[in-house]
Homo-oligomer: A and B are copies of this chain.
């Protein structure tokens, strides 16, 4: 990827992140009334920045099918609500016990633990409220299918189940099979939803949906491997959170299973595979190809 392409892509990513933040700002109620503290914590968590990579994939994969932009933004915002709630709960003292996230105190540090639990709970409910609203898509079948798909990706067989396995594997012997399975649930499920939501909204062909599901799978694992590498090699000042925490805790990571070089090779292979899935969409998927390179080479 040339330097110009990198700049272009990061500009696109920033623009897309800004638009999702604007959508979230409009969709999360103002912090007013007796429940102001709760709403304030939800806004603090959801509007505090972040790469908004999952929303980016919702928007870009939806554009492959010319899906209405307003609906895509709502789905992107709903997905970000789920992703954000999972970070708020994962940061709690009883889970990963993190004090910083995106360069700011975590929600339970800025507010308190009870507020963090409740803000997460309310963000999950809001995600489904957003998805099921008629403004997301005029066809109620699409809305119901999107909600069902997001619920599956978020639940015991997806995001939450992956987090449970992650906690249980601390200190255990790991092999790459178990780590891959855990990460397919913990990270892969939401990335899979991000990549396929547009296909649901456009009632795209099975071939197209399968290509995007394959893309999401390979990309999701590559993303997590890079995350694990950044924990070992990253700069906490750039990351906005502590580094080298996984190693200290005996977390089951790809680096623990494959070593640094093995993990890096595996990420490269998966990134190449992810791009192959995009062949289905020809030149329409140029930005998505750049996104794969971005994921592979990111330092944050």
Contacts and interface: CB of A to CB of B under 8 A. Distances in A.
Integer count of this chain's copies in the complex: 2
A interface majority secondary structure: helix
A92 B118 contact: no
Interface residues of A, number: 59
Interface string A172-210: 000000100110010000000000000000000000000
A203 B105 CA distance: 47
Nearest to A182: B34
A37 B94 contact: no
Given A140-B143, A155-B122, A161-B122, A117 B133 contact: no
A121 interface: yes
Contacts of A39: 156
A254 interface: no
A255 interface: no
A146 to B, nearest CB: 9
A152 B37 CA distance: 18
A144 interface: yes
Interface stretch (A1-9, A52-60, A162-170): A162-170
